[in-house]
Amino acid sequence: MTSKTPESKYSLPRIIFVYGTLRRLGSNHFLLDNKTTEYLGKFRTKEKFVMVGRGIPAVIEPSVRLSCSVPLPIRGEAYLVQESHVLHDLDSLESEGDFYLRKPVSLVSDPEKYAIAKAEIYFGNPKYWYNDETSGSLINSLKGDSYYEYT
Q: Which fold has domain 10-136?
A: Hypothetical upf0131 protein ytfp (3.10.490)
Predicted pLDDT of residue 150: 40
In which band, very low, low, confident or very high, does the pLDDT at 64 lie, cut at 50, 70 and 90? very low
- Rounded to an integer, the average pLDDT of 16-26 is 94
The C-alpha atoms of residue 96 and residue 110 are separated, in whole angstroms, by 27
In which band, very low, low, confident or very high, does the pLDDT at 129 lie, cut at 50, 70 and 90? confident
- Whether 141 shows a pLDDT value over 60: the answer reads no
Query: Which pTM value belongs to this model?
Result: 0.81
Three-class SS state of 87: helix
In which band, very low, low, confident or very high, does the pLDDT at 131 lie, cut at 50, 70 and 90? low
- Whether 144 shows a pLDDT value over 80: the answer reads no
Of residues 103, 104, 110, the one with CA closest to residue 41: 110
Q: For the chain, which residues make up each domain, given as ranges?
A: 10-136
The residue length of the chain stands at: 151
- Rounded to an integer, the average pLDDT of 58-68 is 68
Active site positions, annotated: 94
Q: What is the DSSP letter of 37?
A: -
| CB-based contact 54:140 (threshold 8 Å) | yes
